[in-house]
Structure formats: C-alpha cells, structure tokens
C-alpha cells in the first residue's frame, strides 16, 4: 500500500477528507484558479471548434495537465501542511 493510499484511507475514515476538499476548493476559488481553468477550456474549445469532434474526455485529457501546473505553490504547501497535521494528530492519538 502506498503512502497516498494510506493518507486517502485515513482521511476518509476520519472524516477529514471533506474538510481538505473544502479547503482546496475555497483556496482554488480565492486565487482565481477556477477562472483560469474555465478560460483554458473555452480557449481549447474555440481552437478546436473547426474539428467539432472534441469529446468531454478529450477536453479533460488536454486540460488536466495544464490545470495542475496552474495550482499555486502556496495552495499545494497549505494542503500538504494540513495533511501532515492530520496525520501527526492521528499518530499522537494512537
């Protein structure tokens, strides 16, 4: 089992997963990431419009790597610290 799977399982069991997801959604909205990704999708659709055969899956495949690079380092660091805090609290409780 990988560390990622262990973290996923613990956060699901402890109920912290929804708190982490809420924090991530709020931070991404606050920093304008959602708007950037929305604009990225629109630009890709306009660019590929002549093709008319762009499926949702193809759009997701094209947008996902770019969207991941647009997540600010500060948001990534904050989430990492939150996860570490949750895991440290778990270890202290055991």
Is 1.10.246.140 the CATH classification of the domain at 3-93?
A: yes
pTM > 0.85: yes or no: no
* pLDDT tens by residue, 11-34: 666 678 888 899 999 999 999 999
**Per-residue model confidence (pLDDT) at position 92:** 75
| Domain extent listing, the chain | 3-93
List, as own/partner pairs, every contact residues 56-59 make where C-beta atoms lie below 8 angstroms and the sequence separation is at least 24, other chains included.
none
Q: Alpha-carbon distance 34 to 71, whole Å?
A: 10
């Amino acid at each position: 089992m990988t560390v990622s799977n262990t973290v996923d399982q613990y956060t699901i069991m402890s109920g912290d997963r929804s708190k982490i997801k809420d924090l991530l959604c709020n931070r991404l909205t606050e920093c304008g990431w959602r708007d950037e990704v929305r604009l990225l999708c629109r630009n890709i659709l306009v660019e590929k419009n002549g093709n008319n055969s762009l499926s949702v899956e193809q759009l997701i495949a094209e947008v996902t790597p770019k969207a991941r690079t647009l997540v600010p380092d500060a948001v990534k660091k904050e989430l990492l610290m939150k996860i570490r805090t949750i895991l440290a609290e778990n270890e202290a409780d055991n």
